[in-house]
Amino acid sequence: MLWPWHNSVILRALIWIVIVLLGVVASTATEQDLRIHDPPCVVIDELIGMWTITVVIPKLWAIPVLVAVAFTVFRLVDIFKLPPLNALSRAPGGWGIMLDDLGASAYTCGVLQLILVTGKW
């Protein structure tokens, strides 16, 4: 028997929150161990960022070229730290590591929505 909430949005949101919090904890520990802010070996932030995009825009998987566009936009926004991402990245510890990529996800979702609304996808 499946739990009545096995396919619920609430369950998925709770899982997302737990993974984000685990990412913050792991990122903080790695940052402290290496004594480097946002060390390049930490990639949980990019993973959660891309995962967030695919959850918000599930249609993305049906259009392979949009997956490539999403990844490219996400990386460019993350690299160039458009405002306010530069401020988010300065949050203490793992919060800064995770928040700027979640912000990059939000920017990317906005761009993808514009593409989907104006294009013939």
Residue 84 lies inside a defined structural domain of this protein:
yes
User: Is residue 1 assigned to a domain?
Assistant: no
Q: Which domain holds residue 34?
A: 9-118
Q: What is the pLDDT of residue 98?
A: 96
Q: What span, in angstroms and rounded, lies between the C-alpha atoms of 49 and 104? A: 7
Does the residue 3 lie in any domain?
no
Provide the pLDDT for residue 2. 55
- Angle, alpha carbons 98-77-115 (nearest 5°): 115
106 within some domain:
yes
Give the number of domains in the chain. Answer: 1
Predicted model pTM: 0.86
pLDDT tens-digit series, residues 28-87: 999 999 999 889 999 999 999 999 998 888 888 888 899 999 999 999 999 998 888 999
Cα–Cα distance measured from residue 1 to residue 3, given in angstroms and rounded to the nearest whole number: 7
Please indicate, yes or no, if residue 4 is contained in any of the structural domains: no
Q: Residue 117, CB half-sphere, CA atoms under 13 Å: how many?
A: 6
Backbone angles phi, psi at 7, to 5 degrees: -115, 25
Whether 110 maps to a domain, the answer reads yes
Give how far Cα 64 sits from Cα of 58, 59, 121, Å: 12, 10, 11
pLDDT of residue 40: 92
Residue 29 domain-assigned (yes or no):
yes
In a domain, 2, yes or no: no
Compute the distance between CA of residue 38 and CA of residue 12 in angstroms, rounded to an integer. Answer: 27
